[in-house]
Structure 1
Amino acid sequence: MSVIVKRSLVLQAVEQLRARIAAGDWAVGERLPTEPELAQELGISRNTVREAMRVLAFSGLIEIRQGDGSYLRTVQDPLQAVLALSRCSVDHAREARHILEAEAIGLAAQRCTEADLQGLRQALTHSGAHFHGDLQAYLEADMVFHQRLVDAAHNPALSELYRYFSGLVRAAVEHNMSHTARCQHTFDLHEQILEALTQRDPERAKRLSRDLIES
């Protein structure tokens, strides 16, 4: 019964926060009040606020930045899009990756800056340190690398789409790595994609990206 009560309180807090967002209490990009401040305003515990904020972050309404606070990402609730993505089959996800990720990486090879390349090198070094170690640590680092690849296309629409889509990418990678032995060739493809970006070779970058998706 206590679990049900706690869940009910969290859902109530979520609805209150959604209502305030819809009412325009905060502008997109604005930092939200702290957990203690929201707890006092809503008359609930900090733990309940924290859980409610996690729900809003999952739905894409807010972004939680560790050590910095929570920021409003959008006033348009993308939860339905997230739910639709969660119902995708493995084959559908693979097809979508070919269309979205591979093409975005091709654009990145044409548009990336030196700062983009430096960020990608750092992300790849970090993920490489975990490739043969803890799976969850590797997945976290790998998703940062893939997001930065798409961000290097400098197309905000593609970047935002990929943020919602990345949960499916992570699930696919986790499934593959949990059921097959880790292959160095798979990680090497990441390095080759980065090399293709460095050489401004979009066709090679797309081809390698497709090889990685199918690996």
Structure 2
Amino acid sequence: FNPTKDFPALPWFLPFCFGTPAPEETMVNLCRDLTAVNINNLIKEFKIPYSHLKQFKEHLNDESKARIASYEEKVDTILWYYEDLECPDVDEIISERIRNGERITLPYGKLMDRLLLIRTLRDNQPDIPTFYRNNEYNRGRGRGRGRGFGNANNRHSLQSKKSTLYSDLISVAETQLQTIKLPLESPVGVLADASYSMEIAIRTA
């Protein structure tokens, strides 16, 4: 490879692969030293994949979460990590992406898991399983009965966005369900334990 001819837009890339530092102003250089202090500022400047950011999920502000939701290549990623990124603006962005025709390819079981989580949050239920709770919830938004969203108007606005997202995902789930056909002869028995991995089936039932 010729670093200049083969990578004209990034002449530093090939030398970087062999140990030469990337230029100081590049995303590669700046994002090699992500910290809890600089994470939100870097997200404003660069479209950093969430897979590289999730180690700092406790330090993301709502503005950063919304930006991640808007630039992540697949909406599946945002739904998969919904409990990390959950905030009103993210709900709105996911709904907008779905209504713009973006396809959700999550397995049906995972989609049901996301729907159960969003419905629980929408209904302000205090019994959210521990593994669903994001850091804002653990820091106090969920203390007492339900989540502390401030005044009634604010609560209504937040729940309205979550209700819209829930409805949009229900439509996606209904479409997916129509494609699932599993002919079984009766009788059929289902046996399961009460582990976290069975939480979806238990709560659905």
TM-score by length of structure 2 reads 0.28
TM-score, with structure 1 as normaliser: 0.27
Higher relative CO (Cα under 8 Å, sequence separation at least 6) belongs to 1
Larger CA Rg, structure 1 vs 2? 2
Higher helix share: 1
